Structures are given as C-alpha cells and as structure tokens.
Amino acid sequence: MFIRLFNFLVKRTYYGIALVIPGLIWAVLAAAFGGILILSKANFTATGTEKIFTSTLFFSVIVAVCIGLGEFGLFRLFGKKWENKNLKALNNNIIRGQIRSDVPDQTLLAIYDSFDKTTTFLTNINLGLVTGVIIIVALAEYLVSHQFTNALVILIGGSIAAFVTVIFNAVFCTEVMSSLRKECKNLLSTRNVSFKEYPLTDLKTKFRLFISLIVLILLVIFFLIYPPKLNLVIISLAGLIIMIIVINAIFSSFYRAFDEIKQSAKKLEIGEKAIFFSGSTDKEIIDLSKSLNKTAQNIRNYQKELEEAKTVLEIKVKSRTKELKELAQSLEEQVKQRTKELQGRVDELERFRRLTVGRELKMLELKKEIKELKEELEKHESH
C-alpha cells in the first residue's frame, strides 16, 4: 500500500515529498499505536490529564509532520527551495519518477550520493521527530500531573512507536529507491564515470532487526498485561529463544550460501577456474548457482577463444614479419646492386668528363698556337 502510494505521488509531485509522505503516514499510525498503548496503561483518570495528553500528542505530531514535509521539499510548492541539501539533487533532477537524461556527470554523481544520504537522513529525522514528540508529551504530562509513573509509561510506549517508525522508514526508503539507484548506476557506467558503492546494511544486521521486532512484540505484550505471570514470562522467553535459534539457522544458511558464491567469484576475478556451488538446498540459491556457473563457463569459453585467436594472430604476425624481413633484405640487396651500377656509371661519366675537358683544353692551346703562328707569318710577309 505504501509503495503504491509512493508510485502514485512520485509522478505528480517532487521526489522528496513523494518519499516522505508514506513515511510520515506510518509515523502517525505508529504514534496512534503508541498512544493507545499509553492510554491503556497510564492512570490519567487519577491525574485528570487525559485531554492534555491527547491534545499535546496531536499537536506535537502535526508539528513533526510539518517539519518533515518542509525538510523534504514542501516549500517548493510555494516556489521556495528550502529543503534539506541532500534532497536538492533529487528534487531538481528526478521528474515524474525518472532521472533527467540531460544531467551532467557531476550532477549524476550527486544524485547517486543523495540516495544513500537521503536514506540515512530520513531515518535520522524520523528518529529525531518521534523522540521530540515523546519528550514533549512526557514532559507536559509530568509538569501538569507531577506523576512520574505516567511520564514513564509515555516514554515506554513512545519508544516502542519510535522503534517501529524508524525500522519501517529505513526499509521503505531502501526499497522504493532501489530502481532509481540501479538506473543511476547504469547511467554512470555507460558514461564511464567511476563511483563507489557503500552498502548500508547486511544480512546479519537484518537478522538482528528481525529479532528486535520479535522482542518488541513481547515487550508490548508484557506492557499490556503488566504485571505478567511467571509462567507466561517463562513460556514467552522459551519461545523467543527457540525462534531466535531457528531464525539464526535460516539466516546463517543464506549468509553462508552467499559467502560461498562470493569466494568463488573472487577466484574468477584473479583468473582462476571458478565453480559456483553451494551446500544450500534453497531453489533460489541453486538457480543462482546455475546462472553463475553458466556465466563463468561462457567467460571461460570466451577466454579460450581469445587465447586461440591470440595464438593464430601471433603465428600470422610472425609469418608476416618473416616475409617483411625477407622483403627488406631483398630490397637492401637490390639497392646495393643498383647503387653499384650507378656508381659505375658515375665513374664512367667522370672519365668521359675528364677526357672531354682535356680535349677542349688541347683545342684551346692549338687555337692559341695557330693564332700566334698566323701573327708571325703576317709580320714576315709585311717585311
């Protein structure tokens, strides 16, 4: 129901408002639950403060809801961006439940970081608001009635409501953000933008939370039937121990199965042959192992094909290198032969040049001698 409400709101308003409204509705329900517990155990008849308690609780919850809405973007509806800084990137860039396609890389990284920060912030603000409501109501009761017993009942009932509120909002926020967080990772990967993943929880933590809820239920039962009978306490504690043992065995099998697969994946990372087998008999784990083994086999086949292609390529490269080397040697010999022939021609031309030049010089000398002889002949004839 709450996820459907979120999906309805996220297409019609800002992301932060769509995120916080289901959480605040749950917080109001938890406050009502805590209020009923308190009314069933507190002695307001003797103090005459029942109306003060209900009115203080009502107005405190209203104020807390307004603060929560304001922190997540309520003022945007009035043209003011006064929300928490972790919500700005989400409210600015998520339109109708989709990340804008034109956001730059740095903004996309800011959106990715905001998902985890918003989960933590939503948990913290719920815890802070619910704690504030509890303290205000308990303090008002004590100041009016001066009865510590009623104030203590309010603190106990309010603490139960606070625990339920915080657990729900942490789980709800993680669940509804998962699709957009995945989309954001895909976009960052497509753009080759590096980012780090920081897990918020693990299976062991979830197991502890589950056990805490069971303990909480027992506390509520003891709170309602106080003072509890000894046999009821013994039976409840025995049932709790049995349930913890069984649930621990179940969660341990999950954790062990995933740990076995994780260890196999590490072998695959360093290039070793990895087989994803688990001792689990759960269908989902077996199906996961089969899928991972098939993927690992495809990777090995691809690596084998790659090695074969590499070997063929190396052979071709060696063959081509040999051909090019032989061709280079052949060209080098041809160049040497051609150089030798050209050098012979050059030498022949040099000899011809020398002969030609010598002949020209000889002709010049003969012409000079002829000229001198003609001049002497002319002189003798004139005498």
Please provide the DSSP assignment of 250-316 as one string: HHHHHHHHHHHHHHHHHHHHTT-------S---HHHHHHHHHHHHHHHHHHHHHHHHHHHHHHHHHH
The identity of residue 152, as a single letter, is: L
Give the residue numbers spanning the domain of 118. Answer: 2-200
φ/ψ bin of 97: left (φ > 0), alpha (ψ from -120 to 50), beta (otherwise): left
> What are the b/e assignments for 134-163, b being 16+ CB within 10 Å?
bebbbebbbeebebeebbebbbbbbbbbbb
| Domain membership flag for residue 283 | no
Whether 59 maps to a domain, the answer reads yes
Tell me how far CA of residue 233 lies from CA of 41, 156, 218, 311, 319, in angstroms: 19, 19, 9, 74, 86
- 51: which 2 tokens? 């109306």
Closest alpha carbon to 130 in 224, 208, 24: 24
Amino acid 187: pLDDT? 86
Domains in the chain, number:
1
β-partners of residue 98 are 95
d(CA 356, CA 352): 6
Residue from 242, 195, 199 nearest 218 by CA = 242
Structure-token pair, residue 373: 């002889």
- Region of 322 (left: φ > 0; alpha: ψ -120 to 50; beta: rest) is alpha
Amino acid 136: pLDDT: 92
Residue 41 lies in a domain: yes
Cα(91)–Cα(80) distance, integer angstroms: 12
Residue 132, classed as helix, strand or coil, is helix
pLDDT in tens, the chain (383 residues): 888 898 898 888 899 899 889 988 888 888 888 888 888 888 887 778 888 888 988 899 899 889 988 988 888 888 888 888 888 888 888 888 888 888 898 888 888 888 878 888 888 888 888 889 889 988 988 888 887 888 888 888 888 888 888 888 878 888 888 888 888 888 888 888 887 877 767 767 777 777 777 777 777 776 666 666 677 667 767 777 777 777 777 777 777 777 777 777 776 666 666 666 666 666 776 777 777 778 777 877 887 888 888 888 988 898 888 888 888 888 888 888 888 888 888 888 877 777 777 777 778 777 777 777 777 777 776 66
Residue 118: closest CA among 94, 75, 84, 160: 84
Query: Is the C-alpha dihedral spanning 83, 86, 92, 98 positive or negative?
Result: negative
pLDDT value of position 171 = 80
Residue 314 lies in a domain: no
Continuous segment of H or E residues that includes residue 74: none
| Exposed/middle/buried for residue 210 (C-beta within 10 Å: 0-12, 13-18, 19+) | middle
**Predicted pLDDT at 337:** 86
Contacts of 105 (CB under 8 A, 6+ apart): 188, 191, 193
Neighbour tally for 286: CB within 10 Å: 14
Residue 95, φ and ψ in degrees, nearest 5: -115, 125
Alpha helices in the chain (DSSP H): 2-10, 15-41, 44-47, 50-71, 85-93, 105-145, 148-190, 203-224, 230-269, 283-382
Angle between helices 148-190 and 203-224 (to 10 degrees): 160
Q: Is residue 44 part of a domain?
A: yes
The verdict on residue 368 lying in a domain is no
CA dist 269 and 273 (Å) reads 10
Residue 263 lies in a domain: no
Q: How far apart are CA 168 and CA 30, in angstroms?
A: 10
Residue 91 lies inside a defined structural domain of this protein = yes
